[in-house]
C-alpha cells in the first residue's frame, strides 16, 4: 500500500491499541508491557509505510523509557480547554486513525514536542554546572 493512500483505520492496529489501553494505568509508571506493545504497533506502521507514525511511536517509546510516563507539555488549556483524558490516551486515540488529516497534523505537532523534550535533557547535560573541576 502506498503511504498516501486514504483508507479506514486498520482493525489489527485498533486491537493492539485497545490492548495497550488495557495495560495503561495513569497513576502508575509505564513499563515493558506498554513499550513492547508500542514497538509492535510501530512495526505494523513500518509495514504500512507510515513514516510519520513510525517516528512518532519511536519518540513516544524514548520518552516513556526515559521518564516512565507520557505527560508532555502539548495541550494548552488556555487555548484548547481542559484535556479530560490522560495525554497518552489522547495520543493513542490519534493513532487509532492516523489517516485522518487532522489527526496526522496533531501527531506531527506532538512529534515536535517529543523531540524538544528529548533534546532538552541532552542540552541540560551539556551545560556547565558551575563547578570548577
Place of cell 521518564: 67
Reported residue count of the chain is 133
What's residue 79's pLDDT? 60
Looking from the CA of 67 toward its CB, the CA atoms found within 13 Å total: 15
- The gap between the terminal CA atoms of the chain, to the nearest Å, is 57
In angstroms, what is the C-alpha Rg of the chain? Answer: 16
Q: How many CB atoms lie within 10 A of CB 111?
A: 18
User: Packing angle between helix 11-23 and helix 32-47, nearest 10 degrees?
Assistant: 170
What's residue 85's pLDDT? 85
pLDDT band at 58 (very low <50, low <70, confident <90, very high): very high
Check pLDDT > 90 for residue 124. no
> What confidence tens digit (pLDDT) does each residue in 15-26 have?
999 999 999 999
Check pLDDT > 90 for residue 66. yes
Sign of torsion over alpha carbons 113, 115, 118, 121: negative
C-alpha cell at 133: 573541576
Nearest of 53, 54, 19, 55 to residue 36 by alpha carbon? 19
What's residue 126's pLDDT? 45
Check pLDDT > 60 for residue 50. yes
What's residue 1's pLDDT? 44
Question: How does 4-34 read in b/e, with b if 16+ C-beta sit within 10 Å?
Answer: eeeeeebeebeebbeebeeebeeeeebeeeb
Check pLDDT > 50 for residue 4. no
Check pLDDT > 80 for residue 62. yes
Amino acid at each position: 500500500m502506498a503511504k498516501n493512500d486514504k483508507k479506514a483505520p486498520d482493525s489489527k492496529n485498533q486491537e493492539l491499541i485497545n490492548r495497550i489501553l488495557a495495560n495503561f494505568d495513569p497513576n502508575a509508571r509505564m513499563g515493558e508491557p506498554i513499550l513492547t506493545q508500542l514497538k509492535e504497533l510501530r512495526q505494523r506502521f513500518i509495514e504500512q509505510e507510515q513514516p510519520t507514525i513510525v517516528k512518532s511511536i519511536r519518540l513516544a517509546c524514548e520518552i516513556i523509557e526515559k521518564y516512565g510516563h507520557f505527560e508532555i507539555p502539548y495541550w494548552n488549556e488556555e487555548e484548547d480547554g481542559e484535556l479530560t483524558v490522560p495525554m497518552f490516551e489522547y495520543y493513542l486515540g490519534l493513532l487509532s486513525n492516523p489517516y485522518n488529516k487532522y489527526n496526522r497534523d496533531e501527531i506531527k505537532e506532538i512529534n515536535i514536542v517529543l523531540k524538544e523534550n528529548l533534546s532538552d535533557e541532552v542540552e541540560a547535560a551539556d551545560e556547565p554546572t558551575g563547578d570548577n573541576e
